[in-house]
Structure 1
Amino acid sequence: MYVKNCIYCGSTDLNAEHVFGDWLKNFLPRKNKKRAVAFFRGGKKDNKPQPTSMNVINPRNSPLVSWKIRCVCKTCNSGWMGDVQENAKLVVGPMTNGKSILLDHASKAAIAAWATSVAVTVEYDRHHAPAITPEQRSAFREKKLAPDTFKIWIGKYDCPDDRSVFAKSTHSIYTEAEILADPNKDPTIQNTQTCAFGVGKLYVLVFSSPHHEMLDMVRIKPKAAAVLDQIWPPSPGTLWWPKRAMTDSDAYSIATALRREILKITQN
């Protein structure tokens, strides 16, 4: 998606932002890593669920760490976003190599903020319209923390070859009250999303919606809970990462499971 202004502050002084962070090149192999990327889009029209379409993008042969998207300004990139990346380095870096680690509240928050940055940035690749709302981006910029309208889980995935799972779905979900309050509101604009990605041996699942009731209703299945830990909103205490490593079947089914759960909820 082509943008003229910074998605956070509106500045026109744009530069290309690394999706995952340039510092990850110190942890990940420099060899080419293909990205098989799938985007799903669904929504509602006339208050009726619409079929979800899928756009599978051909794998790219450039290193994962070199993926850049031009959507933020130099000031944001080198300022508060740099702080988010810096806070994540000492935790996320070793995790991409599969190192076991004890996560406290600060560590969970650092990983969640970094994952939020990834989920927001990738929305401005050329393949689809964004679903993370301006209010959510503003909250992220202000606090440098994942917004309270996000849920984030992490797991360990030993990808057996040069593939890297990356799946994103977007949905338009509005209450009847919202439509009645603003007759000019376009109910097809996407405002809810899921994003699953693997970086080295670290697997991340991100869900966001402006509706808190959706956050309460959308939960991972017991099979996914056996391999994923929820880090946002953070639960009290510490946790040892990882649980058992995910299989190929786990990684790819979990990547699309929340999409199916959202469609199920909106159809009821």
Structure 2
Amino acid sequence: MSVLEDRAKPFVLPLVRGQSVTLTDKHQLYVAEWITLVAMVGEYFTPKGIILPQEIRTAFMRNQKPSEAFRIWIGDYVGTDRPFSVRKQRLAIRRKPGPNAHRSLATVFDKRVGGIDGPNFVTLTFSVGPLYAHFFAGLLPEWVDLYSLTLKDGPLQRLWPPRRGWFGTKGLRWPPKEKLEEEAAQTLKSWLNQFMGAESQNYRHNYTFQV
């Protein structure tokens, strides 16, 4: 994967250093590839808890392009808890909403019968300097889109797939106007559980990033 990392490096470094930059669609792809690579490695920190099937990994290694089912956001993190840390969370979204699920999901749960008992989604979050990356993927495509709707651009800017408007994309400007505070970053896990009514397992590991 050295070619992938070398290709992403010129665009990852300004994000890590807090420098101003505008990422085109192609640049966003390169950074998204690198974040996906970190996510793939991060899943193997706990091999028994791997969610993504091998065919998705194989396709990524072959094409070096994130799946359209992946969602990646980045933010300008100003918290203090940011060593080279990786935080992985496995989510189990079931046929019926949990007692704390957001009320708008009740109808969705009733209509969809594709819920899988056991972990079927994974989020992986890491920070390098001010760069905060949040990766989300799962086995039920409709839930990936539903989750995306809950994270509108603000402190977290969607990197992959690039947002498109009526006239294409204007690129992703970094750093964003709104900073990602430590409190908001730390509450992401509990917010996920409350909104989706999901059962989760949380892991945290140290990882040396190659940038």
TM-score of the aligned structures, taking structure 2 as reference length: 0.72
Say if 1:88 and 1:114, in contact at 8 Å, map to a contact too.
yes
Shift of 1:241: 1.4
**Aligned equivalent of 2:173:** 240
When residues 259 and 121 of structure 1 are mapped into structure 2, their CA distance, relative to the original with a 3 A threshold, is: farther
When residues 256 and 214 of structure 1 are mapped into structure 2, their CA distance, relative to the original with a 3 A threshold, is: same
Q: SS at the partner of 2:73? A: strand
Q: Aligned letter for 1:262? A: M
Q: Which runs of 5+ in 1 are unaligned?
A: 1-80, 180-185
Q: Would you say 1:219 and 2:148 are equivalent positions? A: yes
Shift of 1:211: 1.7
Say if 2:192 and 2:198, in contact at 8 Å, map to a contact too.
no
Q: SS at the partner of 2:134? A: strand
Shift of 1:213: 0.6
When residues 247 and 148 of structure 1 are mapped into structure 2, their CA distance, relative to the original with a 3 A threshold, is: same
Q: SS at the partner of 1:219? A: helix
Structure holding more strand per residue: 1
Q: Aligned letter for 2:137? A: S
Q: Which runs of 5+ in 2 are unaligned?
A: 96-111, 200-211
**Aligned equivalent of 2:133:** 204
Which segments of structure 1 move beyond 6 Å, counting only runs of 4 or more? 174-179
| Superposition CA RMSD, Å | 2.8
**The 10-residue stretch of structure 1 (193-202 or 152-161) with the greater mean CA deviation from structure 2:** 152-161
Q: Write the distance in 2 (CA, Å) between the matches of 1:120 and 1:172.
A: 19
Say if 2:69 and 2:141, in contact at 8 Å, map to a contact too.
yes
Shift of 1:135: 2.3
- Determine what percentage of the aligned residue pairs are the same residue: 27
Q: Aligned letter for 1:85? A: E
**Aligned equivalent of 2:184:** 250
The 5 Å alignment of 1:189-200 reads 190-200=119-129
How many residue pairs match? The answer is 177
Q: SS at the partner of 2:187? A: helix
TM-score of the aligned structures, taking structure 1 as reference length: 0.58
Q: Would you say 1:95 and 2:95 are equivalent positions? A: no
**Aligned equivalent of 2:98:** none
The 5 Å alignment of 1:1-268 reads 81-126=1-46, 129-160=49-80, 163=83, 166-173=86-93, 187-188=117-118, 190-219=119-148, 221=150, 225-236=153-164, 237=169, 238-243=171-176, 244-263=178-197
Q: Aligned letter for 2:174? A: W
The Cα offsets for residues 210-235 of structure 1, whole Å up to 9 and x where unpaired, read as: 2211112113646x732111011112
